[in-house]
Amino acid sequence: MSYFAFPSFSVRAIAVWRRNFLVWKKLAIPSMLGNLADPMIYMFGLGYGLGAMLPAVNGLPYIAFLAGGTLCASTMNAATFEALYSAFSRMHVQKTWEALLYAPLALDDVVAGEWLWAASKSMLSGTAILCVIALLGFVHSPMALWVLPVIFLTGLAFAGLGLIVNALAPSYDFFMYYFTLVITPMIFLSGVFFPLDQLPEAARWMAYVLPLSHAVALVRPLLNGELPAHALLHVIVLAGIAITAFWVALSLTRRRLLR
C-alpha cells in the first residue's frame, strides 16, 4: 500500500471521536474556562486598553473589531493544541492509538477521528467565546450563527495542519517550532489585531494563503450582520486547506506507524 493512497475511513472514526469526547466531558468546565480565559484577556486588555486610544477601525469600535479576530485566533489555537499535544500523547505516550489499531479500526479511522475531534473541540471553545461576545453586545444579527460552521471549518484546517506536525514530531519540544515559526506570525499576518491594509504589500499577499486570514475575513462581517465579500472563495480556500492537510497528515502518519 502506498502511504499516499486515498483516505479510506469508516464510521468507526466516530468511536475515536466519542472516546475523546468522554475524556473532555470529565474536565469540561475547567477546559472551557481555560479556553475562554486567554481570548478574554486579549479582548479586554487590548480592546479596552488600547481601544480607548484608537479611533474606530473599519467603522467599528476597536473591541468590536478585535472580537472577530480573537474568536478566529482562539479557534486556531484550540484545534492546534488538540492536534499537537493531545494527539501526540495519545499516539506516542499513552499508546491509545495502538490500542485502537488492535480493534477493528484502520489508521485512517483513527486519524480521521482525531481530525474531526480537534475541530469539534475548537468549535466548542469558539462557541463559548461567541456567547461571551454576544453577551457583550457585539453581535448584531442572527447571521452571526453562520460563524459556527465557519469556525468548524477553520478548526478542520488547523487540525489537519497540526496533525501534519504531529506526524513528524519526535517529541513535545518540536511543537515549539511550529508555534514560534507558524502560528504566532500567522496571528499578525491575518488581520486579527489590525486590518490587513496596514501591512506592506508583500505581507498582504502572504496573508492570502494563510488560513487564518480567510477565517477572519468571514467571521468579522458575520458578527456585524453583513454578508462577507468573496464568501465562497474564502470557504473554498479553507476547505481546500483542510482536506489537503488532512490527506498529507494521514500519509505521513501511515509512514510513521505502519512500518
**Residues that bind other proteins in the complex, under the rule CB under 8 A:** 1, 10, 12, 15, 18-19, 22-23, 26, 94-96, 98-106, 258-259
Cell of 258: 505502519
Instruction: Identify the DSSP state of 199.
Output: S
Task: Tell me the closest approach of the beta carbon of residue 143 to other proteins, in angstroms.
Answer: 38
d(CA 167, CA 223): 35
Pick between residue 53 and residue 259 the one whose CB is nearest to other proteins. Answer: 259
**Least Å distance between CB 26 and other proteins?**
7
Q: From the centroid of its chain, how far is CA 200?
A: 26
- In angstroms, what is the minimal distance from the CB of 163 to other proteins? 20
For 128, the enclosing helix (H) or strand (E) is helix 107-135
Pick between residue 14 and residue 243 the one whose CB is nearest to other proteins: 14
Name the residue nearer to other proteins (CB basis): 23 or 168. Answer: 23
Kindly tell me which of 9 and 138 has the beta carbon lying closer to other proteins.
9
Q: How far is the CB of 94 from other proteins (least distance, A)?
A: 6
